Amino acid sequence: SSTRDSASPHFLRDGQVFIIDRAAKANKLNCFFHSVFSPKENFIQQLNTESTSSTYTQLSEIQLTISEVAKNLKGLDPNKACGPDNIAGMLLVKTADAIAPSLCRLFNQSLSEGYVPLSWKRANITPVHKKDDPTLAMNYRPISLLCIISKVLERCIFNHCFPFFKSHIHNLQHGFIQGRSTVTQLLTVYHDMLDTLASGQEVDVIHLDFSKAFDKVSHNLLLNKLNGHGIGGPLLLSFSQVSTCNAGG
């Protein structure tokens, strides 16, 4: 939420010890954030990027155009916080037409080789207080600020991949779907419940909440899911490359 305080806490507590030093607070938060992530896996060795047993149509390569790269550059929020490279969004927006050809060549080279430069995977981590006692590291979640250029590449890839995946997504999926949200999901559930009750039937609701699901989900599982739905070749290798490093700046 934009109303939540994303500033570094004035102090943290470790038992009866108060941590005030900035470096010590950063280390405490970093240790906690690291502890909730799944163990590192060797994605490249475990994945078969050459072929897949999937019965779906294959998508193994993406070729970007200068015009789409320029469009995504111009669509950036000029006030967006920059990542470890300190390249501001305003600069990218203002120079979009001039740098789009070079960036397009870099992006296509990266995608064809299935290699993502380390600098595009690094991120500045900002702790955001979620709830409860603000002096405990466990009550913070990490927000990653990647280099904006890498976010442009992500957007280009998304624009190519989403149409490919659209037919695979269940009609009742509301999360991360354009035009849908928690509101549309609640309205759908509410409508179905009223219809069911009106017909004289019972309604049973099961709510599942996975603790720190985003942090703990197996990246290798997600990559194999992509592979099973038709993503292969250099494109899958690119996804696995992104998952192997997200070093804090």
Question: Residue 38 pLDDT > 70, yes or no?
Answer: no
| Across 19-41, average pLDDT | 82
3-state helix, strand, coil in the chain (%, to 5): 50, 10, 40
| Across 172-187, average pLDDT | 90
Mean pLDDT of the chain: 85
Residue identified by tokens 């466990």 is 138
- In this predicted structure, what is the pLDDT of residue 101? 98
CA pair distance 247, 144, nearest whole angstrom: 10
pTM for the model stands at 0.78
Instruction: Compute the CA torsion angle 125, 126, 132, 137 (nearest 10 deg).
Output: 40
Q: Which of 10-14, 121-125, 211-215 has the lowest mean pLDDT?
A: 211-215
What is the tens place of the pLDDT at every residue in 186-214? 999 999 999 999 999 999 989 888 777 77
Q: Where are the domains of the chain?
A: 12-243
Q: Which of 165, 150, 177 minimizes the C-alpha distance to 238?
A: 150
Strands 17-19 and 123-129: unpaired
Question: Residue 222 pLDDT > 90, yes or no?
Answer: no
Question: Residue 176 pLDDT > 90, yes or no?
Answer: no
